[in-house]
Structure 1
Amino acid sequence: MSTRAEVQASTRWPMKARRSSRTFEWHDELAETAVSGGQRDRLSRDEVIDLLASLPAARARIRQRRLRGARIVLPWLSSFPGEGWQERWLASGIDANPALIHDLMCADENRPDSEQRAELTSAIYGLITLRIVFPSYDFLAHRGTQSLYIACRRMHRPDLFAKLKTRADDLAISSIHHREVAIAALAKIVVRTGRDLDQLTAEDLFAYRAWFKKRRNTTAEGVSLAWRLLYGIGDLGQYTTLEEASRHGQRTPAQLVDFHGVQAPTVRRVLIRYLEERQPGLDYSTMINLSQNLVLHFWCEIEQHHPGLDTLHLPEKIVAAWKERLLTTPTRLGTPRVEDFFFTVVGTVRAFYRDLQDWAQQDPAWAEWAYPNPIRKSDIAGWTKARQKRNAATHQRIRDRLPHLHTLVESAEHHRDDQAALLSSALTTPVDETFEHGGRGYRRVLSSGYRRPDNKRRPPELIEDLATGEVIDVGRNERNTFWAWAIIEVLRQTGIRVQP
């Protein structure tokens, strides 16, 4: 038998099995949603040139630069197969690889590369603004700029974008940054889909969020607020927030099993039927734990190491190897698993086999799955002792930390008061003037965008530490320290905790 170190080094839980039962749907299938050509997809090259010439430009030189770039980009796109401009755009490969724009520059010309690149970029931005081609989010992540989004906002229903700002005022969204990020997310969706704001649907926002999650493995900033701003303008259905719309609610036993990706059809069927049989007597949280122990930690782990296996009648070698991996495989964070985890999983599996045997005596429909129990009584002999050990460790941690509670409370209160005083001093100090707080020198600063006379946005509360040069958002810090103190006080005063 392999040593624990060898098993631990060679064992990996399957990626699909690592996931917990999520509360929200991420709509991963929408991440690669394709966009077909629009109304101008079949225009001739000359007609596209005329449209590009009609685009507004601050100076004639900008219009000329756009047209020079178009006379290079359009013939190049025409050389690729496709019924329309969108199909040619995708066939060219530039949508997936924006760096191909450098291949269109002519090395023989005396003009600098930067000028040629500006012309090509201006032409492509014109095609996007006119909704002749619809770039992917990947392209926009590499080549999208504020100038492109602003141009699209001005051309396609600017009244609806103004309505977004009005709705932000109605929702009392004071953070200018959060507003701009949410509106920018909607502008990207408009550019990608080629539809106006009032034509967007919940699926469009789900697709953008799914792409962002797939690309950066995190939630798209601003998409939640974007939903709230768009509600009542676009067709988002009955849900007023993204969280409500993406919350899937309680999963059925079949969904719980399929969530972990069980491949064996026979075992999948018995697992679903077993959970359905147990469901009436269990709350949903217990159902989640049962499905994770039985499906995730038992069958999926065995199926990963023995693909093609489709029976619950397991050889002793397979069961022994599984139990050893259960003991030695670390958590996702690389830490050793607690002993109680092993007993919980094997105890659940033992009860599963015993239930199948007992039910088979009363209902012949269960007889085909009544196999010998692979978990012996000796395998769970230390379960009670392990649970008592875990509870004792929890109580000891509480005893160790309780004497330091007053230190935590005092520190939180002091930090809250200090940040509130610092914010008060900053707000009473004129911009560009200095002040002292706590023996340190600061200067009130304001970014150039907020210094313009026509600016009506509320500026952030920024100060510069004169000793280090660090710019601090003291308003945000004050809010964070207040809520940290509030959370500590709620937990301390109410005694709320997670009871193992």
Structure 2
Amino acid sequence: MRRGAADEAGVEEVLARIEALPVWVDWSPERRRQTLRVAHRILIGLQAFPGTGWAQRWENAGLEDGRHWPEVLCGLGVEASARRTGRKPAKQGLMGLLLVGTVLPGYDFLAAFRLASHWFGEVRTVLAPATFARLAERATELGMADPTRDRAMLALVKIVLHTGLDPADFTVAEFDELHVAANRLSARTPSGAVPAWDLLRGLGIPAGLNYREHQRVGQQSTVEMVDRYGLRPGRVRDVLVRYLDERRPGLDFKSFRNMVGHLAGAFWADIEAHHPEIETLALPDEVAAAWKQRLHYTRRSGVPTRPRRDYLQHLMQVRAFYLDIAEWAQQDPTWAEHAVACPIRRAETQGVAKQRHRTIAAVHQRIRERLPRLPLLVDTAHRHHRDRAQLMAVTQAAAIGDEFTHDGHRYRRTARQRPGAEDNQPASARAEDLATGQTHDLITEEDDAFWSWAVIEVLRHTGVRLEELLELTHLALVQHRLDDTGEIVPLLQILPSKTDQERLLLVSPELASVLAIIINRLRAIGDGAIPVIPRWDRHERLYAPALPYLFQRRSGHRHRVIGVSAVQNLLNRTLTRAGLSDAAGDPLNFTPHDFRRIFATEAVTGGLPVHITARLLGHTRIASSESYIAVYQNELIRTYRSYLSERRATRPEAEYHEPTDDEWREFQQHFALRKLELGTCARPYGSPCQHEHACVRCPMLRVDPRQRDRLAEIADSLRERISEARDNGWHGEIEGLRISLRGAESKLVVLDRQTRNTSTYLGIPDLTPKD
């Protein structure tokens, strides 16, 4: 338990210390009387509780919890109204005790106590005036906005009140304790902790880290990752850890994390939850069948929520686990005890190819819906950025309170009003739309509009993955001299990502213009140079080296690489402004990967060979690129017509001469003579009748379903004639009649089969009224 400087002081000594505070002379006489009176009553009341000092008595009285501190004070004889407006005297007395270090309250109490803003300055003046003055100077040097600085100071004041330390003596442990308390109270990062850490970094406390780097969990060990799923200690857990350790060196961290989730989470954690008696990998058939049934649905708190789309991938991962152990057991006997029959048969995973075909078909349809709408999306992003930039410039040129017109709308420049702070920041640009009353923060809106436009332009001109986009740096722009002409062309270097293959892309004039605008913008906010900052790799769970990343933006006083979710949010807002919809009228969504697929489709349909497109996309197999390329119906027709034209060019010209009137009349007469008693003759044009008009025998006869009765009559007549020929001994006629009968019967069978395959009318269902 932490003890304050006055933990063992008597009542009168504590009151005397309050009167000796540097801020005592600044208090009004009324506040002095209330502070001493309330502090005296609290101390007298706390003396009734056991403890060797005020800290123990404070905790035994129940004040440490903080949630019911007004009720506890009432029990001590201090008036503390249930209404916040009636708590001022009680808060003043408590604040006097905290300033002299009578107790060091916990974060639960401080969260419920709600320090008034003017008390921040009192704590800074009394407890660490020199250090807080240096921190205020550091905030000014960083260009930290007033609200951000105030949140940082509040976080530091809370740590000072809780620990009794000077901020110059803080370590990482103090921030860790604040973080744990904030997560317990609100499950989020403590307010002001990030800028407070940045202020202390300026003093070298702590050095070489930022708050997010310290709090983020990097790559964990295999044991730690498996234990996240709460597996019981035993043979199965041990073999899972050993197997995963064997597989880990050959996988990137994202793939390895997915494997751990499949095996330890979706597989064995589920088995233990529903069959705790199982302690071996040899699963009974009924246990394996029940697990497969549960695997069909994703679950939240044990309740099925939706069908699992990667069901087959889970089965394949578990099957590979069993088969790997069986194979390794032949080389290493220590695996032999775990080599058991696999609960997943090969036939159960044979739907992967069909699933992949369905996925490719869905991707192609997605491309067909989005590619025609891409120009509208690009134009919307460009026009919105131009409009926000112009409005921001007009707003900054106007004085506070002035009205002006932009694009037919009337605006008034306004200032952000904050209690106890002036809004005199020169870079602010806030305008109120007089028609709607909406206030626009144009600095933020212009920044969002710019990066929305930049993301769309770079993605559609390069076809890079989202991860590769965020990894682009100023160093990625290189030059190459052509050997034959000596021309220097710009290239964009794409770092290895998914396939661990580095590649170079030729920079088109349009892309070069976009990149130049981005670089100039970053140089303008970085004092002539692009800021060098680290980047968090969310897949590898590591910080990449500090580099001049192109897709970074300033957030307050810090520069940060744009995150994955931020990119999607920028796209979503642009889509909302564009008002794009699909064929059904539903809003159309775009993902960064859609631009990659559209890039591949446009490249191939524009004449670029598929294998070159695969190299540009960074694919190791052409099949991977082919799955990105959607084929349109008009493209299919155009290509087939081109094929026919090329084929005709190789044939004799006489075959394609202009037909004469006699030839055309003969052609039309040929098709007119195809109409028969039983249907239509389907023999090719210009070919003779090979069955001498014995149409019942001919396979080219297409029987009209309406002539079925006539064909049945012909079959009956043939049977009668066969009987007559047999009776009269006309054996030469029997064989010919049998051939005709077989032809008639086969056509009847085909006709009946086609009739049975038609749809069945079910009628209109009747609705039974409810009782």
Counterparts of 2:270 and 2:395 in 1: how far apart (Å)? 57
117, 123, 134: which one aligns with 1:152: 123
Counterparts of 2:209 and 2:72 in 1: how far apart (Å)? 46
7, 18, 32: which one aligns with 1:52: 18
Counterparts of 1:387 and 1:152 in 2: how far apart (Å)? 64
1:84 and 2:50 matched: no
Counterpart residue number, 2:134: 163
Counterpart residue number, 1:486: 454
Q: Give 5+ residue unaligned stretches, structure 2.
A: 467-592, 594-623, 625-771
- What letter matches 2:225 in structure 1? L
Regions of 4+ moved over 4 Å: 105-116, 330-335, 447-452, 454-459
Contact preservation (8 Å) 2:396, 2:428: no
Sort the Cα spacing of 1:178 and 1:412 in 2 relative to 1 into closer, same or farther, 3 A. Answer: farther
Counterparts of 1:110 and 1:253 in 2: how far apart (Å)? 57
Sort the Cα spacing of 1:448 and 1:285 in 2 relative to 1 into closer, same or farther, 3 A. Answer: closer
State the SS of the aligned residue for 1:362. Answer: coil
Counterparts of 2:85 and 2:448 in 1: how far apart (Å)? 47
State the SS of the aligned residue for 2:431. Answer: strand
Counterparts of 1:360 and 1:348 in 2: how far apart (Å)? 18
1:285 and 2:235 matched: no
Counterparts of 1:422 and 1:79 in 2: how far apart (Å)? 67
Sort the Cα spacing of 1:457 and 1:50 in 2 relative to 1 into closer, same or farther, 3 A. Answer: farther
Residue 430 of structure 1, CA deviation:
1.6
Residue 232 of structure 1, CA deviation:
4.7
Residue 423 of structure 1, CA deviation:
1.6
Contact preservation (8 Å) 1:227, 1:240: no
Sort the Cα spacing of 1:90 and 1:451 in 2 relative to 1 into closer, same or farther, 3 A. Answer: closer
Counterparts of 2:439 and 2:130 in 1: how far apart (Å)? 36
State the SS of the aligned residue for 2:404. Answer: strand
Sort the Cα spacing of 1:309 and 1:160 in 2 relative to 1 into closer, same or farther, 3 A. Answer: farther
- What letter matches 2:179 in structure 1? R
Residue 105 of structure 1, CA deviation:
4.5
Counterpart residue number, 2:219: 250
Q: Give 5+ residue unaligned stretches, structure 1.
A: 1-34
Residue 106 of structure 1, CA deviation:
9.1
- Superposed, 1:462-473 pairs within 5 Å as 462-473=430-441
Name whichever of 471-480 and 350-359 sits farther off: 471-480
Sort the Cα spacing of 1:52 and 1:205 in 2 relative to 1 into closer, same or farther, 3 A. Answer: same
Counterpart residue number, 1:36: 2
Counterpart residue number, 1:31: none
State the SS of the aligned residue for 1:254. Answer: helix
Counterpart residue number, 1:391: 360
- Note the aligned Cα RMSD (angstroms): 3.1
1:217 and 2:183 matched: no
Aligned residues: 462
Name whichever of 100-109 and 397-406 sits farther off: 100-109
Contact preservation (8 Å) 1:350, 1:374: yes
Contact preservation (8 Å) 2:403, 2:410: yes
- After superposition, what is the alpha-carbon deviation per residue over 1:229-265, rounded to whole angstroms, capped at 9, x for unaligned? 11153642x5331233234433222222123322243
Contact preservation (8 Å) 2:79, 2:90: no
Residue 380 of structure 1, CA deviation:
0.8
Sort the Cα spacing of 1:490 and 1:92 in 2 relative to 1 into closer, same or farther, 3 A. Answer: farther
Sort the Cα spacing of 1:392 and 1:264 in 2 relative to 1 into closer, same or farther, 3 A. Answer: farther
The alignment's TM-score, normalised by the length of structure 1, stands at 0.83
State the SS of the aligned residue for 2:293. Answer: helix
326, 349, 359: which one aligns with 2:328: 359
Counterparts of 2:214 and 2:118 in 1: how far apart (Å)? 32
State the SS of the aligned residue for 1:135. Answer: coil
Counterparts of 1:147 and 1:459 in 2: how far apart (Å)? 27
Sort the Cα spacing of 1:374 and 1:430 in 2 relative to 1 into closer, same or farther, 3 A. Answer: same
- What letter matches 2:182 in structure 1? F
- After superposition, what is the alpha-carbon deviation per residue over 1:448-486, rounded to whole angstroms, capped at 9, x for unaligned? 55998x987557433333233333322222222222222
Contact preservation (8 Å) 1:102, 1:117: no
- What letter matches 2:235 in structure 1? T
Higher-Rg structure is: 2
Sort the Cα spacing of 1:196 and 1:302 in 2 relative to 1 into closer, same or farther, 3 A. Answer: same
Sort the Cα spacing of 1:408 and 1:176 in 2 relative to 1 into closer, same or farther, 3 A. Answer: farther
Contact preservation (8 Å) 1:465, 1:471: yes
State the SS of the aligned residue for 2:103. Answer: coil
State the SS of the aligned residue for 2:87. Answer: helix
1:228 and 2:212 matched: no
Specify which structure has the higher proportion of helix: 1
Residue 382 of structure 1, CA deviation:
0.6
Sort the Cα spacing of 1:492 and 1:210 in 2 relative to 1 into closer, same or farther, 3 A. Answer: farther
Higher relative contact order, structure no. (Cα contacts within 8 Å, ≥ 6 residues apart): 1
State the SS of the aligned residue for 1:464. Answer: strand
Counterparts of 1:417 and 1:442 in 2: how far apart (Å)? 17
The alignment's TM-score, normalised by the length of structure 2, stands at 0.55
State the SS of the aligned residue for 1:274. Answer: helix
